[in-house]
Amino acid sequence: MFTDIRTVVRGFAVDAAQAVLGLHSEAGRADPYRYYAALHEHGRAVRFAEPVAGYDAVVHGYEAVDQVLRDGSFHLMDAGYEDSQSTHWRDHQALRTLKDSIFYLNGPDHLRIRLLFNQAFTARRVNQLRPAIIRLTQAALDRVADAGRDGAPVDFMAEFAFPLPSNIMGELIGVPEEDRNWYRPRARAIGEILDLDTITWRTMRNADRAATELTEYFAGLVDKRRDEPTDDLISGMLQTQAQWLDDPTLFANLITVFNAGFVTTTQLFGHTVALLLRRPQLLAALRADPALVPPYVEEILRFEPPVHFVIRVATVDSEVQGVEIPAGSRVLVLIGAANRDPVRFPRPDEFDPDRQTSPQIGFGAGAHYCLGAALTRVEGALAIPMLFDRFPDLALAGEPGSPKQLTLRGYDTLPVTVSPRGTGPDHPGR
């Protein structure tokens, strides 16, 4: 079943293949939503007569994306798959780290690692973190207030959106506070090779160096926790799973789970501030009633999800919403497009926290549903009201620009002011 329907995006006729190619462009990464809208004109999924950008099919409708994510016959591109194409990827430490992690494992291998990490993200453990989240949020707000005294511009991403969730994940996993700023550029370097067509000699070199340094770092930290256990994930895993000391995947999983566990919340905070400061009526409603935070968070995750795509390989002949997908097909699964599906979300390009429709799918679905989804929601529910309560004069200090990636999508910088000039650090909101 093929489609040759064409649609129009800003005056140009665009077919499904052109829309997928558009996502690989600088314009597509800056504004993917116009290409998602074009794809929605072609139904819920499209199989190409010839591969497009390396993909045999694209899945973009809500029901189609949900189906593929829940179907265990659609595999991630694990080490075995990569080896079947070429073994050159093994020359790179960053790629070996990723492929050894929970985010690139299938079936029993994935389940084994998932069960080990589930202990860190149970509802009980997340609830136990609430006092720490509140304490760390207050400390982050103090830093922002000091940096923004007398109306000075503050980079919200650097002063709040990054350090707060990374500190929370550090508390959970066991990364000491004094090491977390060192961690940030290395996490970013690995993140830069995850997007569509963003691997270059420079980004790969930086990612390899970062993966090597982080592997050495976690090796030292694991040795320390073995001798001096504390109340954190690493210590707990070593006490209950002693064989992990000799498991080469331990460090890879600590790196990737720590990275993913804070970066998604970092982007949530950035999108929250950018979206709501541009919508003062909605922000006023939230300030008046903090109970609105949960639906606001869900709408932010729908409107600007931190991860826009994943890739799956069909291991058997399948049918996705009427589209035949032969075994061996590489499938581009567009989570960002599913969250803008007009069939599921009326007026999908409108930010509406009051919408009563299907749940957003920004955290994925099925066996690979986001491990830290519950933690991200709790962090948002606690920190967002505290942020807007502390700074009633919070304002954008300039345009943040468009995010540059579709994976771990968010702002690099977000300039804000937290008080008018002349008010000093003792602003009433403090």
What is d(CA 315, CA 73) in angstroms, rounded to the nearest whole number? 6
Q: How far is CA 357 from CA 45, 70, 302, 348, 364, in A?
A: 21, 20, 11, 11, 17
**pLDDT tens track for 32-43:** 999 999 999 999
Tell me what the mean pLDDT of segment 278-298 comes to. 95
Which CATH number goes with the domain that contains 191? 1.10.630.10
Q: Is the pLDDT of residue 242 over 80?
A: no
Q: Is the pLDDT of residue 13 over 50?
A: no
**368 domain residue, yes or no:** yes
Proportion of the chain above pLDDT 70, given as a percent: 93
pLDDT interval class at 123 (50, 70, 90) = confident
SS3 55: strand
What is d(CA 278, CA 385) in angstroms, rounded to the nearest whole number? 17
Q: Give the model's pLDDT for residue 5.
A: 38
- Contact criterion met (CB below 8 Å) for 415 and 152: no
pLDDT interval class at 63 (50, 70, 90) = very high
**423 domain residue, yes or no:** no
**430 domain residue, yes or no:** no
**pLDDT tens track for 349-404:** 999 999 887 799 999 999 999 988 999 999 999 999 999 999 999 999 988 877 88
**426 domain residue, yes or no:** no
Question: Who wins on pLDDT, 332 or 123?
Answer: 332
**303 domain residue, yes or no:** yes
Burial class (CB in 10 A: 0-12, 13-18, 19+), 262: buried
**pLDDT tens track for 16-36:** 999 999 999 989 988 999 999
- Comparing CA positions, the residue from 184, 182, 177, 167 lying closest to residue 129 is 167
What is d(CA 427, CA 420) in angstroms, rounded to the nearest whole number? 9
**427 domain residue, yes or no:** no
- Please give the single-letter amino acid code of residue 216: E
Q: Give the model's pLDDT for residue 246.
A: 60
Q: Is the pLDDT of residue 128 over 50?
A: yes
Q: Per this entry, what is the length of the chain? A: 430
Q: Give the model's pLDDT for residue 90.
A: 95
pTM: 0.90
**380 domain residue, yes or no:** yes
Tokens, residue 408 = 């771990």
- Comparing CA positions, the residue from 242, 301, 236 lying closest to residue 275 is 301
Residue 302, domain extent: 7-417
Which stretches within 192-343 are classed as H helix? Answer: 201-227, 233-240, 249-277, 280-288, 293-303, 335-338
Q: Give the model's pLDDT for residue 250.
A: 84
Q: Is the pLDDT of residue 120 over 80?
A: no
Q: Give the model's pLDDT for residue 4.
A: 38
Q: Is the pLDDT of residue 229 over 70?
A: yes
Tokens, residue 107 = 């079936």
Tokens, residue 401 = 């620009």
Q: Give the model's pLDDT for residue 2.
A: 35
Tell me what the mean pLDDT of segment 81-92 comes to. 94
74-75 and 12-14 strand pairing: unpaired
- Contact criterion met (CB below 8 Å) for 53 and 21: yes
pLDDT interval class at 245 (50, 70, 90) = low
- Comparing CA positions, the residue from 9, 4, 57, 15 lying closest to residue 334 is 57
Total structural domains in the chain?
1
**116 domain residue, yes or no:** yes
